[in-house]
Structure formats: structure tokens, C-alpha cells
Amino acid sequence: MHSNKLNRFFLWSIVSLALIALGLGSYLSWTISQREPESAQTPVEERTPLPTKASRVVIVSWDGAKPVVMKSLIDEGKLPTFASLQVGSYVDFDAQTVVPSVTLPSHTSMLTGRPISEHKITWNDYQPERGFVKSETVFELAKKQGIGTAMVATKEKFAHLNKPETIDHYFHERGDAATATNRALEILEDTSVGLLFLHFKEPDAAGHAYGWGGGSKDEASSQQYMAALQEVDRVTGLLLAQLKSDDLWNQTVVIITSDHGGKGKSHGSDSPEDTTVPWAATGGGIQQKYQFASSALSGRSISTMDTAATALSLLEIPVPTDWSGKNLLSKIEVPLGTPTQ
Ligand SMILES: [Zn+2]
């Protein structure tokens, strides 16, 4: 009897331990199965479309950047920032500016979406007595929607675009492109700034002093002009690196363009050498969020006026219907949770 009791005790103990082990095992497998949806969340998050409303649009203008010279520098590996945009961004080397292809009228079209005949900034120097541009600027329209605005320009004449109460942070930066970029990055520490324009004068200055070149195979570009393009490319790379390290990168779009090219030591004509400019848009996941709206162009080239319209659309501000400039980046509509592959 005693040994039977003992045996029963052992049997009971073994059964109990087995039950506990079974229970523990079930608990563990339940815990793991509970975790499975969590681990499955990562791909769900990856499938979730990136936000298509940009919190921040940065327009960078390389004054006097001539696409044919840029392309030969890219071929030689000497324009690494712009070259890097050829993968995963939108790049065009045949955009067109307005005529006369000069700095202030051209930038005014870039930032108002209108031709010179409408914005009426026909002069190309700072004439304070002539006041501000009458047309609404991209800054003005953004500001009306409560978006913080900024401009860092390295030429004084941009003051004609600095209409009262439309640009929160306006700087005529007398220093070089690197100094202007540092200023822009300081401004962008304020996350309420959703639209910033940054201007580099170096290529234009070198073109006027030493020549643009690149018009034919016999006409080499001046070393100084090429060096200026390389410098603004380097500085633009620093800007992009800083923006990419920011939490806002997925909601940031950077447009890099120019106001005109040049030939000899001048520009301003309707010749393609003067009117053709680069136009590029980059940003976190840009090609997953936006497609190039070629239908907006109806067969024409990209215009500098499209810059303002694209910036507004990215910020989800309606583009005035009478603007010549059109939005170039239409949203890719993907319902939430739909695989993008
Ligand atoms: Zn210029």
C-alpha cells in the first residue's frame, strides 16, 4: 500500500509536471503567436504610402547654370551631387526660362508662375523706387495658408520679391554659396518654415568674368565657370545631406534649377544656350509618392514658371488657375495599406 501510494504520488507529480510543462509551452507559443502580428507590422508599415503633402519645399537656384556644361562635368564625375539625382529623383536638362533670359525677370517668373508680360518685372537691377512685384508670389500664397516662408538670395535685387508680410525670413546674403547655405540651414531649424528659396550667384559671376563656353565642341568652358558649378554642387550636397538627416526628409522636396544659361560672357537672348536650364526635384521617397505630370506640359518643355506651381501643389495649396506655370509632380494615389509593389 505504502509503495502504491508512493507510486501514485510519483505518477501524480509526473502528470502535474507534464501539465505545467504543457501549460508553459502553450503559454510560450501563445506569447510568440501574439508577437507575430507585431513582427508582421513592419512590412505593413513599409506598405503604408509615404505622406504626399510636403511639409517643406526648398527651391535652390544656381544662377547661370548651363545644362550642357553641367552634363559634361557629370560625365567626368565632377558634379557628384547633381549626378546622384539621376537615380531616384526627377531630372531634366531641357527646361526653359523666360526671355529676356536675365536674372530678376526670370526669378520673378520662377517664383510667381507668370511670364514677364504679367508680373512686369522687366528690369534686372535693384531699383528701390519701383517697389515690389505686383503679382502674387509663391511665398505670399504659402504665407496666406499659415506656412512659414524664407528667402536667402546672394544678389540685392531679389528685394523686389520681398513684399511686406510675405517672407518671414529674408536675407540678402553678401557671402558665398557656403555662407548662404549655412544661413538657410539655420532658418530651417525652425520647423514652421515650409518654403525656402536659396540662391547661389557663383556660376553667373564666373560666366560673366571668364565665359560660359560649352556652345560647341570648339568652345571650351572656362576653368572658373566649371569650378563655380562644382562649388555650388558641393554646397548643394551639404544642404541635401543635412536635410536627409532630418526627420522631415520624407516630407521634404528640394527643387534645383537655374534662371538662365549663357554664351560668351553674357546671356539674355532667346538662344537655347541662354534659355535652357536644369530642373530637378528630389526628396525622401519622391518617386514612390509623385509621378512626373507630363500631361501638364502638353508637349512643351518644362518652364521655370512650373517651379512655383509645383511648390504650391506639393504644399497642397491650390495653384491660381490663370498661372502659366503648372504642377509637374502629381500624387500617386495609393489607398492606405495597399502594397506598393
Ligand atoms: Zn542670373
CATH number at residue 224: 3.40.720.10
Number of domains in the chain: 2
- Phi-psi map region of 99: left, alpha, beta (phi>0 left; psi -120 to 50 alpha): beta
**Domain limits at 276?**
56-331
Residues of the chain predicted below pLDDT 50: 1, 3, 6, 17, 19, 22-42, 44-45, 341
Residue 341 lies in a domain: no
- CA 315 to ligand 1 center in whole angstroms: 27
- CA 103 to ligand 1 center in whole angstroms: 4
- CA 329 to ligand 1 center in whole angstroms: 25
Q: Residue 331: its pLDDT value, please?
A: 93
- CA 218 to ligand 1 center in whole angstroms: 25
Q: Residue 29: its pLDDT value, please?
A: 38
Please name which of 147, 117, 65 lies closest in space to residue 311, comparing C-alpha atoms.
147
Pairing of strands 193-200, 252-257: unpaired
Q: Residue 1: its pLDDT value, please?
A: 41
Contact 135, 322 (CB under 8 A): no
Residue 51 lies in a domain: no
Please name which of 234, 246, 224, 166 lies closest in space to residue 200, comparing C-alpha atoms.
234
- CA 197 to ligand 1 center in whole angstroms: 15
C-alpha 232/C-alpha 174 separation (Å) is 15
- CA 261 to ligand 1 center in whole angstroms: 8
Same domain for 5 and 141: no
Q: Residue 7: its pLDDT value, please?
A: 59
- The whole model's pTM is what? 0.84
Please name which of 283, 282, 292, 273 lies closest in space to residue 67, comparing C-alpha atoms.
273
Same domain for 236 and 88: yes
Same domain for 63 and 37: no
C-alpha 315/C-alpha 23 separation (Å) is 56
- CA 115 to ligand 1 center in whole angstroms: 16
Same domain for 61 and 40: no
